[in-house]
Amino acid sequence: MKLDRFIANHTPHSRQTARLLVASGRVTVAGERVCDPRFDVDQFVAIRLDGALLQDRPALFYMLHKPVGFLSATRDLQHRTVLELFAPELREQLHIGGRLDRGSSGLLMLTNDGSWSRRLTEPKIKLPKTYQVTTLRPISSETAERFAAGIYMTTEQLTTSPAQLLQLGECTCRLTIYEGRYHQIKRMFHAVGNQVVSLHRESMGAIQLDPALAPGQYRALTAAEIASVDQVSRSS
Ligand code: URA
C-alpha cells in the first residue's frame, strides 16, 4: 500500500492532506523519515506521524449525545469541546465523524478509524442523516418541495441531494439530508426565507441516538452499528 493511502486509512486526514504531511517530513517509516507519499509500506513496518504510532491500535467507535454549547472540535481555547466529555484516556485517540454546530445537539460519532469516519460524511456515499428542526417562522407548504428538488449552495456551486421533510408542527419538522456540508440545514432554511432555531440529530444511517443517553453521555457502538455504515458504503 502507498504511504499516503495508509495514513488516510489510519487517521482522520484525507489522502491529499496525507501527501502534504509526508512531504513536510512529519512521517517516519521504520524510524526513517520518508517524504515520498508514494512510498510502498506494509502492515509490519512501524509508521509514525509526529512520533505517534499509527498501527496496532484497538479500533474505537463511540456515540455521544452532544449537548448544546459544546464545540465539535478536539481543542479550542474559547469553548468547551465534545472531547472534554470523554474519559481522559480516550480524548487523545478520538476524532469526530460528521460535526454538529455548537448550538446543535444529538447524535455525534467519534472514532479512531479514519476510513470509517470518512464514510459518514462522504457526499457520494449518501448516508442519510435525520434531524428534528425547529424554525423561527412557520414552515411553508413549498419548503418540502424545494428541499426535495435540492437547494443551490452558492459557496460550493452545487445543488444539495434531494432531502425529505416531514412536517411535525407549524415550526417543527423531521428532515433527512444526505451530505454534511457546512451549516447545511441552516443554509437550506435560509434559502427559503426561514431560520433554524434548534437542531437535533436523531440518526446517521441505521444508527439511532440511544434514548438511554442523557446529553453529555456516550457509549461504545455495537458491532452491528459499526458494520451498518460499511453496508451503506457497499450499496452506494
Ligand atoms: N446542518 C446545520 O446547519 N448544522 C448542523 O449542526 C448540522 C447540519
Q: What is the pLDDT of residues 20-36, one digit of tens each?
A: 999 999 999 877 899 99
Domains in the chain: boundaries: 3-55, 61-235
pLDDT attached to residue 148: 97
Is 101 a known active-site residue?
A: yes
Considering the domain 61-235 in this protein, what is its CATH number?
3.30.2350.10
Ligand 1 interacting residues, C-beta cut-off 6 A: 100-101, 104, 183-186, 199
pLDDT of 11? 85
From the candidates 101, 113, 210, 230, give the one annotated as an active-site residue.
Answer: 101
pLDDT digits (tens, 9 = 90+) for 148-179: 999 999 999 999 999 999 999 999 999 999 99
Instruction: Please count the CA atoms within 13 angstroms of the CA of 72 that sit on its side-chain side.
Output: 21
Q: Which atom of ligand 1 is nearest to the CA of 100?
A: 6
| The pLDDT of residue 56 | 67
Distance CA 112, CA 57 (A): 9
Burial string for 11-29 (b: 16+ CB within 10 Å, else e) reads: bbbeeeebbebbeeeebbb
Instruction: Flag whether pLDDT at 18 surpasses 80.
Output: yes
Ligand 1 centroid from CA 23, angstroms: 34
**Can you identify the CATH homologous superfamily of domain 3-55?**
RNA-binding S4 domain (3.10.290.10)
CA distance 1 to 230: 21
Q: Name, in order, each residue with C-beta under 8 angstroms of 156's C-beta and a sequence gap of 6 or more.
A: 181
- Calculate how far, in angstroms, residue 185's C-alpha sits from the geometric centre of ligand 1: 5
Domains 3-55 and 61-235 alike in fold: no
Q: Which H or E run includes 9?
A: helix 3-10
Q: What is the mean pLDDT of the chain?
A: 92
Supply the pLDDT for residue 122: 84
What ranges in 47-132 are assigned the alpha helix state H?
88-91, 114-121
Read off φ and ψ for residue 66, nearest 5 degrees. Answer: -70, 130
Per-residue pLDDT band at 54 (split at 50, 70, 90): confident
Question: Model confidence over 74-129: pLDDT tens digits?
Answer: 888 899 999 999 999 898 889 999 999 999 999 999 998 887 888 898 888 899 99
